[in-house]
Amino acid sequence: MGDRKVISIDGMGGDDAPGIVVDGLERFAKRRPDLHFLIHGDEAKLKPLLASAPNASPRTTIRHTEKFITMDDKPAQMLRQGKGSSMWNAIEAVKTGEAVAAVSAGNTGALMALSMFILRKVEGLRRPALVASWPTRKGVCAVLDLGADIDADAEQLVEFAIMGVAYARAVNGKANPKVALLNIGSEELKGHESIREAARLIRTANLQMNFHGFVEGDDIVSGEVDVVVTDGFTGNVALKTAEGMVKMVADMLRESLKSGPFSMLGALLAMPALKKFRSRLDPRRVNGAVFLGLNGVVVKSHGGTDGVGFEQAISVAAGMGESHFRDEVAENLKRLVASADAISPAIAPSQEAAK
Amino acid sequence: MGDRKVISIDGMGGDDAPGIVVDGLERFAKRRPDLHFLIHGDEAKLKPLLASAPNASPRTTIRHTEKFITMDDKPAQMLRQGKGSSMWNAIEAVKTGEAVAAVSAGNTGALMALSMFILRKVEGLRRPALVASWPTRKGVCAVLDLGADIDADAEQLVEFAIMGVAYARAVNGKANPKVALLNIGSEELKGHESIREAARLIRTANLQMNFHGFVEGDDIVSGEVDVVVTDGFTGNVALKTAEGMVKMVADMLRESLKSGPFSMLGALLAMPALKKFRSRLDPRRVNGAVFLGLNGVVVKSHGGTDGVGFEQAISVAAGMGESHFRDEVAENLKRLVASADAISPAIAPSQEAAK
């Protein structure tokens, strides 16, 4: 395929696939006339959709398969039976080098399992992580891990920080991302030992990282930092809690504004302002979680998204696929290992003494 | 003091104390002409404030002290030096039986440390927990632990469930509170072993508990359950994240509505609806976190609250002080211990085999 950059797409993943997938693809193709696409799925369904996608269709190749993974399929089962499915094939195209990144709105557990299995972990890295960008007061903040795993020790947290920084540079266009570890507040209860140890590691290893120290939950959206690092359990809970809160607030506002003729008229007059408000919080604007730490880029779109959201997920995949993400992570992992080798014998006794 | 119910109040805790404290007291005293109050702090400051609080003053006794704990004081230090401070004396009055509950808007860490030290843990309970009510789509939900400690094993989570249920009955007026354990979603990654073990314990011990199983972060506000149980680290992160999100959303909405003459006019017309919306999310409405599991009730008000918020914190203290909370928790702890004694020898080998 020469110099052509190709994005590989699971045509059948997501609640409203393949309709929203091709819709998102067409929107993205219009913005980026330089990229090419592979779409995996049922040709009989994809072909007519692509026929009315004038920007995408000349640059899109359909790879037919009738097999696809549903939201109810169990990840472990899909490792054995998923071969040849649209999701599997989408990831496989990254492995073979045909595509620079894969995108799917399908089953998260299956996507993580298949990605790990097909692409394998980056050498030297202990665990992959799921990252996504959150809307903040000043733009976006990358948060990881959002649930690739449930625990994380100090070194994994440092790995997450390394990957998060490279992601913020690649996808969010931050030149020198400020990174922080998520912790809780009171002086006396400064969080798990793993978090404090991770802070020490980041400070002592020569990671060339703009490290901010600890932040609390409310700092994720304050815009003070560009990357927030936590374990997958905490990250997942924080993400879901925040999503639930924002949705409740939006619904309550809508109800309130419909509660009488004056408020309805008021809402009508304020409509442009309310729309701008909504768009700043639009979850589609930040759709696309990246599975970091594999030999290849895989992006998970929200399963219930629409064309606008799927376009954003492809955009994240393209940003990652075109970036120096892998080289940067590899460089920093080397620094981490080097510093651990150099420091640990010297540090161990003094740590022991401090206890 | 006979049958008189007394609430003990730290007059000097909080950003705007003692002004907001006496304001909150007066508001609460107006609603509850049957209760009496002890207020601890600088008489020279409290006396003139009480003079213009006609409902509270006839039923309030000032206990003078010039010593008080600031937000910057270290909890460990206050254990040694805090004796005789307004916070210390407020808690002490619960210990001596003079008051049924204490309220403070002061330093959280110091309040937790002093409460533990003065009141001691309930016998049979392994750890106390911090609980608060969150606004939900349908009312409120009690969430604990919010940071009394950072970890929680299975038995502690069960203890939290027991205390959370009793709290929801005492303070939120739920007859048969539905309780759930906070977890993350995917089938394959069903959270920490401690959480699954806690679910097994609740199901096997005869706790007379309306147990819902697992919920995710977004279910805290859905209104499906009345009590959500998690460890202190996760609970604190979830709380802070949600607070940060809601504050950001509210600020963005305000900015948007001020962005032009039409939207300002619209906002004016919709003002009553917007006010109703705001009041549903008003953090003052749910102010007052309770430190559960001690031999006495201590309520922590938000440090930055106003009179309305402090009134709510006193109301939580009164609800707890008047309830059968302690008896209910004691009963259920007995059931938990009994079932653990009865079950553990039989269960241990099969658990071992399952590994």
pLDDT in tens, A40-85: 999 999 999 999 999 999 999 999 999 999 988 998 899 999 999 9
Model pLDDT, residue B24: 97
Query: What is the distance in angstroms between the Cα of B14 and the nearest Cα belonging to chain A?
Result: 16
* Residue B167 shares a structural domain with residue B190: yes
What is the separation of C-alpha B319 from the centre of its chain, rounded to a whole number of angstroms?
Answer: 12
As for how many domains chain B has, the answer is 2
Among B192, B249, B263, select the one facing A150 at the smallest CB separation. B192
* Residue B155 shares a structural domain with residue B258: yes
Model pLDDT, residue A340: 65
* Residue B308 shares a structural domain with residue B274: no
Model pLDDT, residue B342: 59
* Residue B207 shares a structural domain with residue B222: yes
Residues 6+ apart with CB under 8 A from B35: B5, B6, B7, B28, B29, B59, B318
**Could you tell me if B269 lies within 8 Å of chain A, comparing CB atoms?**
yes
Among B237, B245, B273, select the one facing A260 at the smallest CB separation. B273
Residue B22, classified by CB atoms within 10 Å of its CB into exposed (0-12), middle (13-18) or buried (19+), is buried
Beta strands in chain B (DSSP E): 6-10, 36-41, 60-64, 101-104, 129-135, 140-144, 178-182, 210-215, 227-229, 289-292, 297-300
**Could you tell me if A155 lies within 8 Å of chain B, comparing CB atoms?**
no
Question: Does B188 contact A76 at a Cβ distance shorter than 8 Å?
Answer: yes
Residue keyed to tokens 């309310």: A274
Question: Does A218 contact B265 at a Cβ distance shorter than 8 Å?
Answer: no
For chain B, give me the number of helices (H) and strands (E)?
12, 11
* Residue B283 shares a structural domain with residue B310: no
* Residue B100 shares a structural domain with residue B166: no
Residue keyed to tokens 């110099």: A3
What Cα–Cα distance (Å) separates residue A302 from each residue in A77, A94, A276, A343, A344? 22, 20, 22, 42, 42
Residue keyed to tokens 């059968």: B324
- Domain contains A300: yes
Residues 6+ apart with CB under 8 A from B346: none
Among positive and negative, which fits the CA dihedral A138, A144, A146, A152? negative
Query: How far is residue B37's CA from residue B243's CA, in Å, rounded to a whole number?
Result: 31
Which of B43, B37, B45, B48 shows the shortest CA–CA distance to B18? Answer: B45
Query: What is the distance in angstroms between the Cα of A218 and the nearest Cα belonging to chain B?
Result: 4
- Model confidence band, residue B1 (pLDDT cutoffs 50, 70, 90): very low
**Could you tell me if B232 lies within 8 Å of chain A, comparing CB atoms?**
yes
Among B222, B230, B256, select the one facing A244 at the smallest CB separation. B222
Q: Which domain holds residue B35?
A: 1-120+294-323
Model pLDDT, residue B189: 54
Q: Tell me, what CATH number does B343's domain have?
A: 3.40.718.10
pTM, full prediction: 0.87
**Could you tell me if A75 lies within 8 Å of chain B, comparing CB atoms?**
yes
* Nearest Cα residue in chain B from A75: B188
* Residue B331 shares a structural domain with residue B222: yes
Model pLDDT, residue B40: 98
Among positive and negative, which fits the CA dihedral B257, B260, B263, B266? positive
- Domain contains A18: yes
Could you tell me the two tokens for B271? 């003002």
**Residue B277 near residue A256, CB atoms below 8 Å:** yes
**Residue B321 near residue B97, CB atoms below 8 Å:** no
Helices B325-354 and B154-172, axial angle in degrees (round to 10): 150
3-state secondary structure of B295: coil
Q: Is the per-residue pLDDT at B352 higher than 80?
A: no
**Could you tell me if A272 lies within 8 Å of chain B, comparing CB atoms?**
yes
Of A177-181, B122-126, B342-346, the least confident? B342-346
- Domain contains A40: yes
**pLDDT per position in chain A (355 positions), as tens?**
457 899 999 999 999 999 999 999 999 999 999 999 999 999 999 999 999 999 999 999 999 999 999 988 998 899 999 999 999 999 999 999 999 999 999 998 899 999 999 999 998 888 999 999 998 888 899 999 998 888 899 999 999 999 999 999 988 989 999 999 999 975 445 678 899 999 999 998 878 899 999 999 999 999 999 999 999 999 999 999 988 888 888 888 888 888 888 778 877 777 777 777 777 777 777 788 999 999 999 999 999 899 999 999 999 999 998 888 888 888 888 888 777 665 444 333 333 333 3
* Residue B23 shares a structural domain with residue B111: yes
Query: What is the distance in angstroms between the Cα of B139 and the nearest Cα belonging to chain A?
Result: 12
Q: How do beta strands B140-144 and B129-135 pair?
A: antiparallel
**Residue B333 near residue B159, CB atoms below 8 Å:** yes
pLDDT in tens, B36-92: 999 999 999 999 999 999 999 999 999 999 999 998 898 889 999 999 999 999 999
**Residue A143 near residue A239, CB atoms below 8 Å:** yes
Question: Does B245 contact A245 at a Cβ distance shorter than 8 Å?
Answer: yes
- Domain contains A226: no
Task: Transcribe B19-32 into DSSP letters.
Answer: HHHHHHHHHHHHH-
